[in-house]
Amino acid sequence: MQTFYQISDFLKQHKWRYIMGVIVLLVVDGLQLITPRIIGIVTDGLTEGTMTIKYIYMYAALIIVIACFIAVLRYAWRMLVMGAARDLEFWLRNKFFSHLETLSPNFYNNNKTGDLMAHATNDISSLRMTFGPGVIMMTDAIFIPATTITIMLFTTDIRLTLLALLPLPFIAILMGVFGKVIQKRHKDVQAAFSDLTDKVQENMSGIRVVKSFVQEEHEIDKFLKSNNSYIEKNMRLVKVFGFMFPLVAFIASLSFIITLGYGGSLVIRDEITLGQFTSFIAYLGLLTWPMMAIGQVINVLQRGTASMKRLNAIFDIQPDITDAAVVKDITQEELKPAIEFNNLSFTYNGAKHPALSNINLKIEEGKTLAILGRTGSGKTTLVNLILRMYNTQEGQLSIGGHDINTIPLKTLRESIGYVPQDNFLFSTTIKDNIAFSNIDMGMEKVVQATKFAHVYDNIMEFPLQFDTILGERGVTLSGGQKQRVSIARAIAKDPKILILDDSLSAVDTKTEEKILEGLKQVMKNRTSIIIAHRISTLKEADEIIVLDEGKIVEKGSHEELIVLHGLYNSIYQKQLLEEKLENEA
């Protein structure tokens, strides 16, 4: 039970549902034992001639009443036990998701989304199997054979009972063995299916690439292969089932043959009555299912334990970025948007070279810093550290005079408006995307933000305007529109620090100028960091740094950097030339 500590809260809270469910199940199992007995009594009464039609009706009525009770109670245990198991699944899924939300980018750098999805679907559902059908199987596997066999022994004949039961353990063994094979093949089917859906999904989202490279035929071929493999795996599964059920039925029928032969001879020799004989056959019929359950229950428990262990491994990962013990009580209002890097170096987990080295930098409140640098020079890394997506060593990075590790995470992140380089937007309405920081945000603020980001006119052109849904089920925004919606989302947060990571690369220089003008108004008394590859984006900044291989190689205003005749100047000259050529063309 140690393994299941992650769900012990749930089990404790819902123990009465399980206890009631098992009690009801036991009552059903008990009631089932009555009917064979009645059949025996009626048969004996008929052979002895003591049975009147009135009694037959009475017994028939009794059987119907019992059947009705069983029906109602079966519904009850199903609702209790299976219902609890479904709730467990729901509860665990929520818990798992909540845990995933606490984990840092580092975790996601090391774990594939596909694997996490598999945990969330397969492992959680196999736990449901353990704490739903598993509980039922275990109860039936213990109670039904124990009671039924005792009754058989006491009401009929020891020799007959032992002989007739001989084949039944083979059903349990068979189910155990087949269960393992089924599990394995079922996994193959699932893997083949996910391969198939991956193919379809990639082809749908990459349809433009497929078409432009004229690879439709080839892709259809590849799909056919996947589809073939899927049906093949399915057939392998169908075959096991096709083999298993008849075999179980065959073994069960051996018991009946033994009963018929040996039991029949006992009746002829008058050692047991005809009534005992008929009850015995009915009791035997009750035993097939529990025998199957015995075989399955071990597999179900094993699978549940294995799944729980896999989930535990993820649950046990502590978020590596949390409020430290030394955290100060700083509110968002109190936090001054001044940033200071003090000889900071940073290396990603597992990386050979540092992504940033010896960064010394001071961004004063209300100022704008621009960062230029070749791809891979560490620009995104630098701003990720300000957002504390990764931990820095004490004393290397401070905000408003406080070491970043001592600022409450919530305060820190709520103070920053971040426009990520990949401009990720959610598949929901434009309005909800922009109001992401506060879903109760007034429409006025949303509209204002889009005006500053110069995307308002574009949005008004959509038939549904702010209610336009983005993403797969909605419209696809152009690269530049995405960037600007993403900027609006950051502005709407009303942040003290605004960070734009290459966020104007997809808009033309004219629009860029207007957005920068708008930002200037919004960012009065706030601090901004603008990352760009284009000099036009950053030349107005109070300070510009040039990063190269993780180091600051140049620092100063646009004018200062030009006269340095270094990397900045050479990029500037190249861009000027490009612009000139473009204008001439």
Ligand X SMILES: Nc1ncnc2c1ncn2[C@@H]1O[C@H](COP(=O)(O)OP(=O)(O)OP(=O)(O)O)[C@@H](O)[C@H]1O
User: What are the residues binding ligand X (CB under 6 A)?
Assistant: 109, 348, 351, 355, 373, 375-381, 421, 502
Which amino acid, 133?
P
Q: Using the minimum distance from each CB to ligand X, give the nearer residue, 23 or 116.
A: 116
- Residue 420 CB, shortest distance to Mg ion, in Å, is 9
| Helix, strand, coil percentages in the chain from 3-state DSSP, rounded to 5 | 65, 10, 25
- Residue 549 CB, shortest distance to Mg ion, in Å, is 14
Alpha helix ranges (H) inside 316-455: 379-386, 409-414, 430-434, 443-452
Number of residues that bind Mg ion (CB under 5 A): 2
Those residues whose C-beta lies under 8 Å from the C-beta of residue 478, and which sit 6 or more positions away, are 506
- Residue 555 CB, shortest distance to ligand X, in Å, is 16
Q: Using the minimum distance from each CB to ligand X, give the nearer residue, 6 or 381.
A: 381
Judge contact between 509 and 454, C-beta under 8 A: no
Q: Using the minimum distance from each CB to Mg ion, give the nearer residue, 194 or 421.
A: 421
**Site for Mg ion contains 380 (CB under 5 A):** yes
- Residue 502 CB, shortest distance to ligand X, in Å, is 6
Q: Using the minimum distance from each CB to ligand X, give the nearer residue, 174 or 355.
A: 355
| Residue 109's binding partner out of ligand X, Mg ion, none, with CB under 5 to 8 Å set by partner kind | ligand X
Q: What are phi and psi of 270, to 5 degrees?
A: 65, 20
Residue 152, token pair as written in the block: 């058989």
Q: Using the minimum distance from each CB to ligand X, give the nearer residue, 394 or 422.
A: 422
**Site for Mg ion contains 423 (CB under 5 A):** no
Q: Using the minimum distance from each CB to ligand X, give the nearer residue, 350 or 463.
A: 350
| Residue 415's binding partner out of Mg ion, ligand X, none, with CB under 5 to 8 Å set by partner kind | none
| Residue 395's binding partner out of ligand X, Mg ion, none, with CB under 5 to 8 Å set by partner kind | none
What is the spatial distance between Cα 327 and Cα 414, in angstroms, rounded to a whole number? Answer: 16
| Residue 376's binding partner out of ligand X, Mg ion, none, with CB under 5 to 8 Å set by partner kind | ligand X
- Residue 561 CB, shortest distance to ligand X, in Å, is 18
Judge contact between 518 and 454, C-beta under 8 A: yes
Q: Using the minimum distance from each CB to Mg ion, give the nearer residue, 106 or 421.
A: 421
- Residue 476 CB, shortest distance to ligand X, in Å, is 23
Nearest CA to 307 out of 498, 131, 533, 49 is that of 131
Q: Using the minimum distance from each CB to Mg ion, give the nearer residue, 330 or 490.
A: 490
Task: Using CA atoms of 94, 96, 97, 99 in order, give the dihedral in degrees to the nearest 10.
Answer: 120
Q: Kindly write out the interface string for residues 532-571 of this chain, putting x where it contacts Mg ion by CB under 5 A and - elsewhere.
A: ----------------------------------------
Q: Which one of the spans 93-101, 194-202, 372-380, 386-394 is the region binding Mg ion (CB under 5 A)?
A: 372-380
What is the spatial order of strands in the sheet that 416-419 belongs to? 416-419, 497-501, 527-531, 368-373, 543-548, 551-556
Those residues whose C-beta lies under 8 Å from the C-beta of residue 344, and which sit 6 or more positions away, are 356, 358, 359, 360, 385, 392, 393, 396, 397
Q: Using the minimum distance from each CB to Mg ion, give the nearer residue, 111 or 421.
A: 421
**Site for Mg ion contains 156 (CB under 5 A):** no
Angle between helices 53-77 and 15-32 (to 10 degrees): 160
Reported as half-sphere exposure (CB side, CA atoms, 13 A), residue 361 has a value of 31
- Residue 202 CB, shortest distance to ligand X, in Å, is 23
Those residues whose C-beta lies under 8 Å from the C-beta of residue 429, and which sit 6 or more positions away, are 464, 466, 467, 468, 469, 470
Residue 282, token pair as written in the block: 């009915």
Residue closest to Mg ion, measured at CB = 380
- Residue 356 CB, shortest distance to ligand X, in Å, is 8
- Residue 388 CB, shortest distance to ligand X, in Å, is 15
Interacting residues toward Mg ion by CB under 5 A: 380, 421
